[in-house]
Structure 1
Amino acid sequence: MTCGGIVVNMTSLNKDGIGIRVYGNNSLGFYADVGGEQLWIDVLRATLERGLAPISWTDYLYLSVGGTLSNAGISGQTFSHGPQINNVIELDVITGKGEFMTCSRNRNPEVFFGVIGGLGQFGIITRARIVLEEAPTRVKWVRLLYSNFSIYSRDQEHLISSKAPNYVEGFLITNENTTNEWRSSFSSPSKQSDIVSLLKKQGIIYSIEVVKYYDNQTAGTIDQEFQKLLKELNFIPELIFSTDASLFDFLARVPILINDKGLESHPWLNLFIPKSRISDFNDGVLATMLPRLNETAGLYIFYPVNRNKWDDRMSAVIPDEDIFYGLGLLHTSRPDEYQIYDKFNNDILEFCEKAGIEVKQYLPHYTSKADWIKHYGSKWGIIQQRKAMFDPKKILSPGQRIFNSA
């Protein structure tokens, strides 16, 4: 991971660091000062004690604050509130030159915008000031199924253009195990045989997950509001599944993923795909290649987000279109089988290259400087400048081989 460098054990800051501190009031707004080593699950617990919560999340909360802010931090709230990096007010950073700097959009902005989404290349985040809002108490949570991709994508894009939902994500179903796992959060699907039949016919089913938040004041109208929203959509009417949950149970729905026996590998691929080529991507990848893995374990996430919720000054890279889709191919395999999925992921990237689909990798991994230059595109110049300014000896995160490869 470090190519002769060092690993910083950020969890050691738990002993003497700032931890999680909540501030603010109704007139000035609320925020939390959070140590970069803190996990989002602990941020959720601490802020909920005050009736507050951050507004943008990741699907998996057992990740560090500094880690996700060094990438982007995306989930079903991103379409409305932007990624987690768009909801940070201030940072404390230790640069590669050993300088301790407090930064924001107006104070030391070059450090701030460099570190946010900067893949750890310019500094180590030791504190983040995160936007909070009053937390709802419960969520109405619905899963909808589709057999037609164009209708599916049109409905997803309609939802992210609306202020009605609080959370929108999509899923790709290639085997019945996906719906069997719904029992953890939904009652057992009564239409399981219909889903299996449809899968055998098509090889893939598309799903949208929609959530609306509510509390005691709006509990009496939440069902009516949801029905109004659903009438605007064109899902398969007999294949709809719903449940109700507390905000905590919904946000913390993915359990901690730790396998002490080392029996699993996770050869994931995460992409941002421009909307203008999404049908071509479906024809060449989703509907054609993914069903080949119909007996394997994994979760496939696919949903659109709005570009205007991202700040282009940040180091994170996204497609240059008003709407783009996030794809997460979250494969799970035995340690001796990961090569199968690496090849599958590379086949997808090769398809996109040949088809001229200008995807951007999220959580990117490249092995040559030329690939990184292509990844950053027009941002490459500013990325080089920031590296020279804040880590001229190139000691931070050399294992990514952005500046330490041919």
Structure 2
Amino acid sequence: MKPPSLVHCFKLLVLLALARLTMHVPDEDMLSPLGALRLDGHFSFHDVSAMARDFGNQCSFLPAAVLHPGSVSDIAATVRHVFSLGEGSPLTVAARGHGHSLMGQSQAAQGIVVRMESLRGARLQVHDGFVDAPGGELWINVLRETLKHGLAPKSWTDYLHLTVGGTLSNAGVSGQAFRHGPQVSNVNQLEIVTGRGDVVTCSPEDNSDLFYAALGGLGQFGIITRARIALEPAPEMVRWIRVLYSDFESFTEDQEMLIMAENSFDYIEGFVIINRTGILNNWRASFKPQDPVQASHFQSDGRVLYCLELTKNFNSGDTDTMEQEVAVLLSRLRFIQSTLFHTDVTYLEFLDRVHTSELKLRAQSLWEVPHPWLNLLIPRSSIRRFATEVFGRILKDSNNGPILLYPVNKSKWDNKTSVVIPDEEIFYLVGFLSSAPSLSGHGSIAHAMSLNSQIVEFCEEADIGMKQYLAHYTTQEQWKTHFGARWETFERRKHRYDPLAILAPGQRIFPKASLPLSL
């Protein structure tokens, strides 16, 4: 199952153009009633191009209309209208958060895009132990509000300028997942607009089938309009540490030891530095070395290096205790001693660290470029074979973007949700977070997609047991393979909650009336 390419997007555009010529697009009879709906918000029918872009910046499918909801009832009324048109209508509905999808997953070609951020700030309410957040709220705003009460959600993504509903529709994974599980394992309740236009409140106790279906459900069963998220006491400060390894075995064994230890760090991630040139990237920018003299003498000789990134949370009065705990934990690790770098930052500064990099890239016009990302979940039993082939043979030069590699525990993932993961207690998230700033050569989309295809093909031929995360397949057969034994449950839930396949057409899992699924 190769990753989608620009050729795929071009083919889809051609098919959509042919559909328009044969009248398989919404006509005025279908769209005109939208303007007559009694709404707190409004529709846009002309200035819709912004909703045809996403972070991946590879596919652009214009919607017929954009809903700027002023309330949840606006979303429900819109979906009910589309549902009432029946099977013959080509209209679909896609919920768009911050537009951070990669291959048009939040787009709706000639359909309706719901701009979920219009609901931001409407009902962000912090309680003792949980926060109620609108589905269109950004996680950074959730954090800022909960910190006012000395609280914070337990699990995060590395980038906080994403919407609550967006990450919960996938999984939401970061360096805290080894302890708390992904974000979908830390939700107490959801409010959802189903594909029939019903507004349903659900939890593990009430309407549990829909609750678990929507978590990691890729938007297929309903639009998440509110989430009740578990909180914990928030620390004031973070000791942020980076160290380097030159040996993959030591790097992974140390990570696995840390995620299984009763007393460990609070955040554990790793990344790979493909360093053929001998010039290190900015992996230690803004960090203070423990030994400045040794650090100044550290030289790279073109090896592949592995960076372990760790944090220890603490409050202002607990610095000495934190120092002692960190020293004990570091003494158990086998990193290159001269590469110990650390800094102390606020909890907010650490969690929002990627946004700082974003601002720098935006200033250089390097943020809104194509991002042909590939995210994989690799079983522990296969990670060394995977690394030998991918980092030793396929990736022959420095990568245009970070390569994440860190383990998580299956037992921390709620197996009732729609998320598909490898069937081993420890598995690794491996993320190739490439950018494509140039039209040709090493920095091009073609180059990145070729490498992605080689990596996926190797995984399939070598029976690595890989699952893609944030996957985008082009046929239902590929999706069936992805879900495996869980496909039957996924399909049953689709027929129950979105029987006309109205929702999230950009995932291309279930066909809508007159739009082709296979390319």
- After superposition, what is the alpha-carbon deviation per residue over 1:257-309, rounded to whole angstroms, capped at 9, x for unaligned? 4759675111100000000111100111123223x231x42011100000000
Counterpart Cα distance in 1 of 2:279 and 2:140: 27
Q: 1:135 aligns with which of 208, 211, 234?
A: 234
Which residue of structure 1 aligns with residue 418 of structure 2?
315
**Identical-pair percentage:** 45
**How far apart are the structure 1 equivalents of 2:296 and 2:404?**
21
Is the 2:269–2:405 contact (alpha carbons within 8 Å) kept by the matching residues of 1?
Answer: yes
C-alpha change, 1:235 and 1:122, in structure 2 (3 Å) is same
For residues 224-248 of structure 1, give each alpha carbon's deviation from its aligned partner in whole angstroms, at most 9, with x where no partner exists.
1111111111111122111111111
> Which residue matches 1:21?
125
CA displacement 1:83-127 (0-9 Å, x = unmatched): 000000000000111010000011100110000000011100000
Once the 2 structures are TM-superposed, how far is the Cα of residue 157 of structure 1 from its aligned partner?
A: 0.1
Query: Could you give the per-residue CA deviations for residues 37-89 of structure 1, whole angstroms, max 9, x where no partner exists?
Result: 11011111111111111110000001000000000000000000000000000
1:253 to 349, 353, 377: 353
1:55 paired to 2:55: no
Output the CA distance in 2 between the equivalents of 1:117 and 1:205.
33
Corresponding residue SS for 1:183: coil
Q: Distance in 2 between matches of 1:287 and 1:42?
A: 41
Deviating above 3 A after TM superposition, structure 1's stretches of 4 or more consecutive aligned residues are 175-179, 184-193, 256-263
Partner of residue 365 from structure 1, selected from 472, 478, 497: 472
Q: Is residue 2:114 matched to residue 1:114?
A: no
Pair 181,323 (structure 1): closer, same or farther in 2 beyond 3 Å: closer
Corresponding residue to 1:244 among 344, 352, 358: 344
Please name the residue that 2:284 is paired with: 182
SS in 1 for 2:402: strand
Q: Say whether residues 1:352 and 2:459 are aligned partners.
A: yes
* 1:13 to 1:276, Cα distance in 2 relative to 1, 3 A: same
Sort the Cα spacing of 1:94 and 1:263 in 2 relative to 1 into closer, same or farther, 3 A. closer
Is the CA contact 1:82–1:309 (under 8 Å) kept in the aligned structure 2?
A: yes
- Structure 2's unaligned 5+ residue stretches are 1-106, 512-516
Q: CA deviation at 1:187?
A: 6.5
Query: Which residue number corresponds to residue 116 of structure 2?
Result: 10
- CA apart distance, 1:196: 2.4
Deviates more, 1:204-213 or 1:73-82: 204-213
1:233 aligns with 2:333: yes
Amino acid at match of 1:21: Q
Aligned 8 A contact 1:40 1:63 in 2: yes
Q: 1:401: Cα distance to partner?
A: 1.2
Q: Secondary structure at the match of 1:266?
A: coil
SS in 1 for 2:354: coil
Deviates more, 1:383-392 or 1:337-346: 337-346
SS in 1 for 2:319: coil
Name the count of aligned residue pairs: 393
Letter in structure 2 aligned against 1:310: W
Aligned-residue offset at 1:3: 3.3
* C-alpha contact 1:173 1:207 (8 A) present in aligned 2: yes
- Rounded to whole Å, the distance in 2 between the matches of 1:33 and 1:169 is 29
Q: Residue type matched to 2:111 in 1?
A: G
**Are 2:274 and 2:391, in contact at CA under 8 Å, matched by a contact in 1?**
no
Q: Answer whether contact 2:394 2:454 (CA < 8 A) is retained.
A: no
Deviations 1:184-240 (A, max 9, x none): 45569863663422xx1x2x1011111111113422211111111111111111221
Q: SS of the counterpart of 1:376?
A: helix
The 10-residue stretch of structure 1 (364-373 or 210-219) with the greater mean CA deviation from structure 2: 210-219
Taking the aligned partners of 1:96 and 1:8, their CA distance within structure 2 comes to 13
Paired position in structure 2 for 1:376: 483
Deviates more, 1:91-100 or 1:175-184: 175-184
Decide whether the 8 Å contact of 2:289 with 2:340 is kept in 1. Answer: no
The question of whether the paired residues in 1 share the 8 Å contact of 2:279 and 2:300 is answered with no
| AA at the equivalent of 1:215 | N
The secondary structure found in structure 1 opposite 2:344 is strand
1:277 equivalent among 382, 405, 410: 382
The partner residue of 1:81 within 175, 180, 183 is 180
Match of 2:500 in 1: 393
Residue by residue over 1:116-157, the C-alpha shift from the partner in whole angstroms, topping out at 9 and shown as x without a partner, is 000011100000001111111111111111111111110000
Q: Identify the range of structure 1 (232-241 vs 84-93) with the bigger mean alpha-carbon deviation.
A: 232-241
> 1: CA distance between counterparts of 2:355 and 2:289?
18
Bigger drift between 160-169 and 184-193 goes to: 184-193
Partner of 1:27: none
**Partners of 1:85 and 1:269 in 2: CA distance:** 21
Instruction: Choose the corresponding residue for 2:258, options 144, 159, 163.
Output: 159
1: CA distance, partners of 2:481 / 2:144: 40
Q: Which amino acid aligns with 2:199?
A: F
**TM-score, length basis structure 2:** 0.73
User: 1:65-80 residue pairs with structure 2 within 5 A?
Assistant: 65-80=164-179
**How far, CA to CA, are the matches of 1:326 and 1:234 in structure 2?**
22
Structure 2 distance, partners of 1:255, 1:75, is 15
Matched, 1:173 2:273: yes
Structure 1, unmatched stretches of 5+, are: 25-29
Retained in 2: the 8 A contact 1:5–1:395?
A: no
Distance 1:287 1:136 in 2: 40
Q: Which amino acid in 1 is paired with 2:282? A: N
The structure-2 alpha-carbon separation of the partners of 1:246 and 1:214, relative to structure 1 and needing over 3 Å to count, comes to same
Matched, 1:98 2:197: yes
Query: Any idea what SS the aligned residue of 1:297 has?
Result: coil
Partner of 2:448: 341
Q: Deviations along 1:145-196, whole A, 9 cap, x unmatched?
A: 1111111110000000013211000010123676425324556986366342
Aligned letter for 1:11? E
Partner of 1:301: helix, strand, or coil? strand
Q: TM-score, normalised by structure 1?
A: 0.92
Give yes or no for contact 1:263–1:335 (8 Å, CA) kept in 2.
no
* Structure 2 counterpart SS, 1:196: coil
SS at match of 1:124: strand
Change (3 A) 1:326 1:195: farther
